[in-house]
Structure 1
Amino acid sequence: MALFTTGEAVAVELPIARIPTRAAAFLLDLCVQLILGLVLVPGSQVLLSRWGADSAWRDTALVVTVVAVLIGYPVLGETLTRGRSLGKMALGLRVVRGDGGPIDFRHAVTRGLSGIVDFWMLGTGLIAVVVSLCSPNARRIGDALAGTVVVHDRSRLPFAALVVPPPWLQGWARQLELSGLSDELALAVRRYLIRFGTLTPVVQDQLGRTLVLTVCARLHTPPPNGYPPLMILGAVLSERQRRAFPPPPARPAYARAVA
């Protein structure tokens, strides 16, 4: 089990996926990739031959198809499903960020490219197995580079709704460009919010001001004047939560009346 601080200050324990389960999921994905390869490779070659393409074009198509199957398949699957390939779905696994949040394309493509080293460099997956055995959270090289962990996901992660922005800072927070807020810095802020009540007043103020200056520097915006660090940091994380978990669109009044 590992403790994650999910969303915006929700602590939850999730079981780490170990090598046997991950290996089974990998073999299922490999079967899907083999089927895709057996369909796409001959199909592309036949299609190019009908178009009168020379051997150079056919060789290029072969390389592109193999790369798309080996790397594009896991990257596309994990991006669209927020961390679950077909094999992981079957085994109840999910890739999550180091703070327990859902991954995006950046994490998926890092894991996919690193799979060349983890699985295909020696052709046996031995590197992934050895690195996972040496990691307390069973992380392979791709997980270490992407900052991700594979966990069992039979039970849904709780919706992170504990951070509520102060109304007077909502407008300021909605104008922020949050791409500069890294997962590591967001995790540090969440831990500060969780532990706020246990800190001494001096530490609350000093650590809070340090985090506010760091966060605002990363976001390239001056901190709003006259507000305590707790409100500013809460506003930033609540806005991050709102963008990561957008609420469902409201139905029109006439639709509600018909329903």
Structure 2
Amino acid sequence: MSEGILTGEGVLLDARPASFASRMLAALLDLTVIVGIAILISIVLGGLGTQISDSAGRAIGVLVIVTVMVLIPVTVETLTRGRSLGKLAAGIRIVRDDGGPVRFRHALIRALTGTGELWMTAGSVALITSLLNDKGKRVGDIVAGTYAVRVRGAQRTLPPVAMPYQLAGWAHSADMRRLPDGLALAARQFLGRANTLHPASRERLGRELASQAELAVAPPPPPGTHPEMFLAAVLAERRDREFAAAHAADRTATAEAELVRRLPHQIPDPVD
């Protein structure tokens, strides 16, 4: 688990940085689209011919440059939360260092920095910086606090967590409301890929996650409980409780909606 996102609870979650090839493919596709838009605008302006004065032409030229270099990238990244056409095709996304979606501020910083490291230097600065950075960040990513992650092919369906029968009684009566969501997610990912880990790493990670979970669960599991069985029992019980609570809330909302629709003034009709 050397790569990932650090949550507020200090738990490292899986998030593989995009490969150099994926980033280059996305950049080339985006460049092709932007150049195509620039050519289209030039053709339109050329059709106007001499109808535009020299000063107006220079102003329009500056506006076109700003639109191509800044406005279009910022708008696309903001509206798509970090997925341009090229990134969508390459299966990557730009996210913040904490794993959250990028906002207007991040997209603006990336675009403004890109005018120097991408356009004015033909991408050489961005290429060198990306090769030297362990997450493939260019200068704009370093300044904005973002990086590219894989969003296609990096995730797989995890097998369902089963309740260990010997811990069912304890889990049903245990208080696990203080279990952080980040820790539960980390435990779920660990159990889903435990069979692929090195035995020593599997044992170490299992004990670390179990020790963190025990601080949020009361009473503790029976003495001698295996860490992975403890985590499975906690996650299975937590899942069942959340499902039951959601089902109960849905029934309550349905019943209240029926009462609201009855007249007059939300008072049930009298029974004949």
Q: Shorter-chain TM-score category?
A: 0.5 to 0.7
Q: What count of residue pairs does the alignment treat as equivalent?
A: 168
CA distance in 2, matches of 1:10, 1:53: 60
Matched, 1:60 2:59: yes
1:142 aligns to what SS in structure 2?
A: helix
Aligned to 2:86: 87
1:149 aligns to what SS in structure 2?
A: strand
Aligned to 2:96: 97
After superposing on structure 2, the runs of 4+ consecutive aligned residues of structure 1 that deviate more than 6 Å are 7-10
How many Å apart are 1:197 and its aligned residue? 4.9
2:81 aligns to what SS in structure 1?
A: coil
How many Å apart are 1:63 and its aligned residue? 1.7
CA distance in 2, matches of 1:86, 1:145: 23
How many Å apart are 1:7 and its aligned residue? 7.8
Q: 1:91 to 1:162 in 2, by over 3 A?
A: same
1:101 aligns to what SS in structure 2?
A: coil
Aligned to 1:129: 127
Matched AA of 2:138: R
How many Å apart are 1:5 and its aligned residue? 2.9
- Which residue among 137, 140, 145 is the counterpart of 1:147? 145
- TM-score normalised over the length of structure 2: 0.54
**Gap runs ≥5 in structure 2:** 157-179, 183-208, 216-252, 262-272
1:138 aligns to what SS in structure 2?
A: coil
Matched AA of 2:148: V
2:14 aligns to what SS in structure 1?
A: strand
Could you tell me the percent identity over the aligned residues? 36
Aligned to 2:19: 18
CA distance in 1, matches of 2:92, 2:19: 10
Aligned to 1:204: none
Moved more, 148-157 or 11-20: 148-157
In the TM superposition, 1:206-217 aligns within 5 A as none
Structural RMSD (CA) = 3.4
2:95 aligns to what SS in structure 1?
A: strand
What are the Cα deviations for residues 171-197 of structure 1, in whole angstroms up to 9, with x where unaligned? xxxxxxxxxxxxxxxxxxxxxxx9x95
Aligned to 2:70: 71
- Contact 1:7/1:101 (8 A) holds in 2: no
How many Å apart are 1:156 and its aligned residue? 7.0
The answer to which structure, 1 or 2, has the higher relative contact order (CA under 8 A, 6+ apart) is: 1
**Gap runs ≥5 in structure 1:** 164-193, 201-249
What are the Cα deviations for residues 191-225 of structure 1, in whole angstroms up to 9, with x where unaligned? xxx9x959x9xxxxxxxxxxxxxxxxxxxxxxxxx
